[in-house]
Amino acid sequence: MPEISAPPEPSTALAPEPSGPPDDENSGGSTEVFDVRKFGAIGDGVTDDTNAFKMAWDTACQVNSSSTIYVPNGFSFMIQSTIFTGPCQGGLVFQIDGTLMPPDGPEEWPKNNSKRQWLVFYRVNQMSLQGGGAIDGRGQKWWDLPCKPHKGINATTLPGPCDSPVAIRFFMSSNLTVQGLKVKDSPQFHFRFDGCQNVHVESLHITAPALSPNTDGIHIANTNGVQIYNSVISNGDDCVSIGSGCYDVDIRNLTCGPGHGISIGSLGNHNSKACVHNVTVRDSVIKVSDNGVRIKTWQGGSGAVSGIMFGNIHMISVRNPIIIDQFYCLTKDCLNQTSAVYVSDILYEGIKGTYDTRSPPMHFGCSDSVPCTNITLSDIELLPAQGDIVLDPFCWNAYGELETLTIPPVYCLREGVPRSILDNKDMDHC
């Protein structure tokens, strides 16, 4: 996969004094604005501005009405690994019009700071992280750690410290909005939402090189009420990854790729129970990606994935446009196990475009003992990106139906519901 070019490096030069922070005309003057420079932030890309940001946060957090932390345009602020803690007294806007960046690589990271996370928002309610600015994760030196998969022979890796920070993490927070930002080159995941409720993501632009390891665009786990709209993500892993405990997730108008596509999972690792339901992905484009829309589970897990809809998605040279993989494994020595996460009620509708002929356009690889059921295909048209040889879809222990004829034809889905599912009333218990 060709490496994508990164956007131009944000300028770290000092700019003229901006005209001022966002006005509050529409709020009747009730919004207090806290410019981080008033708390001592320099914004030259070198000076440690962590304490200034913490003081601005702590001050804004104590205001009873809505407040804004203002990060001005034309400045680059270097911040150490930090936890911004709530709950706050009122709603809070974190307005980023300049650039935020962490220390440059593991050697510059303070030894007593966590290397698993950079900026964390903890127990925050009614917050908006927004603006026309940028977040530069400076990930290259993390990706080059000897422990990471790289371009050597057989993707060789070496022992050694491997922790790499998630750029932005929201933990146990609610009523969140993230919008308008450009985020690039995170050492690991760009955004991670853990244990959150009511998350609205709008108009994000996330980029990292196609070979950057574990740079998921947006990862959610144990989170519900999620909307991801009108965004562009190109990176070295999943554009969006949906972990266990997620439900009521709506993804719309996403441009994804290069990368690994949009994934539910992986689920059920280390024989764990995993539950995901009511997920919709629609009106999106996936291009030059290893996968399109994917459900991936480990053998030995339990729980269920159900109520999933993938609709009106355009594929461009995608290696696995439609894939269910219940034999997910990162090595060649995973043991066969009988239990599995139950996958059912999956609708694929209006999925069209081209696929990379190294793999079949549709792959339904389901557990030997826990078949996939109620897979529905409607208005599917997938053609080879090169040549005229159309590959047959692959099915293994997958049950479902075709609402319309598909291209290529799918003859391998089984009809009905298997007896093993009918007899096990606890199969889909979550």
Shared domain for 285 and 409, answered yes or no, is yes
- Measured over the CA atoms of residue 281, residue 288, residue 325 and residue 193, the dihedral's sign is negative
Of the chain, the percentage scoring pLDDT greater than 90 comes to 80
Q: Give pLDDT, residue 425.
A: 67
pTM: 0.91
Q: Give pLDDT, residue 422.
A: 73
Shared domain for 274 and 231, answered yes or no, is no
Shared domain for 198 and 285, answered yes or no, is no
* pLDDT greater than 80 at residue 205: yes
Q: What is the pLDDT of residues 79-133, one digit of tens each?
A: 999 999 999 999 999 999 999 999 999 999 999 999 999 999 999 999 999 999 9
d(CA 50, CA 36): 10
Q: Give pLDDT, residue 429.
A: 75
Active site residue 150: no
Band of pLDDT at residue 17, cut at 50, 70 and 90: very low
48 is a domain residue: yes
What's the domain count of the chain? 2
154 is a domain residue: no
70 is a domain residue: yes
* pLDDT greater than 90 at residue 298: yes
Shared domain for 223 and 282, answered yes or no, is no
Q: Give pLDDT, residue 87.
A: 96
20 is a domain residue: no
* pLDDT greater than 90 at residue 18: no
- Of 23-37, 128-142, 306-320, 340-354, the poorest mean pLDDT is in 23-37
Shared domain for 136 and 233, answered yes or no, is yes
Shared domain for 205 and 271, answered yes or no, is no
Average pLDDT estimate for 21-31:
54
Q: What is the mean pLDDT of the chain?
A: 91
Average pLDDT estimate for 200-225:
97
Q: What is the pLDDT of residues 216-267, one digit of tens each?
A: 999 999 999 999 999 999 999 999 999 999 999 999 999 999 999 999 999 9
Is 111:149 a contact under the CB 8 Å cutoff?
no
Backbone angles phi, psi at 22, to 5 degrees: -55, 135
Shared domain for 259 and 168, answered yes or no, is no
Shared domain for 227 and 267, answered yes or no, is no
Is 108:83 a contact under the CB 8 Å cutoff?
no
* pLDDT greater than 80 at residue 21: no
* pLDDT greater than 60 at residue 57: yes
Residue 180's domain comprises: 30-147+163-237
Is 239:220 a contact under the CB 8 Å cutoff?
no
- Of 164-168, 290-294, 328-332, the poorest mean pLDDT is in 328-332
Band of pLDDT at residue 9, cut at 50, 70 and 90: very low
User: Of 237, 270, 290, which residue constitutes the final position of a domain?
Assistant: 237
242 is a domain residue: no
The residue among 343 and 388 whose pLDDT is bigger is 343
Q: Does a cis peptide bond (omega within 30 degrees of 0) precede residue 165? A: no
* pLDDT greater than 50 at residue 200: yes
22 is a domain residue: no
Rg (alpha carbons) of the chain, rounded to whole number: 23
Q: Give pLDDT, residue 427.
A: 67
User: Of 237, 264, 290, which residue constitutes the final position of a domain?
Assistant: 237
Tokens 């990162």 -> residue = 330
d(CA 46, CA 63): 30
Shared domain for 70 and 207, answered yes or no, is yes
User: Of 237, 265, 292, which residue constitutes the final position of a domain?
Assistant: 237
Report the CATH number at residue 215. Answer: 2.160.20.10
Average pLDDT estimate for 60-78:
96
* pLDDT greater than 90 at residue 62: yes
158 is a domain residue: no
The residue among 40 and 162 whose pLDDT is bigger is 40
* pLDDT greater than 70 at residue 70: yes
* pLDDT greater than 90 at residue 419: no
Burial class (CB in 10 A: 0-12, 13-18, 19+), 333: exposed
Q: How open is the CA angle 186-187-192, to the nearest 5 degrees?
A: 65
Which listed residue (190, 219, 260, 277) is catalytic?
260
Which stretch of DSSP H or E encloses residue 59?
helix 50-61
* pLDDT greater than 70 at residue 25: no
Q: Give pLDDT, residue 332.
A: 77
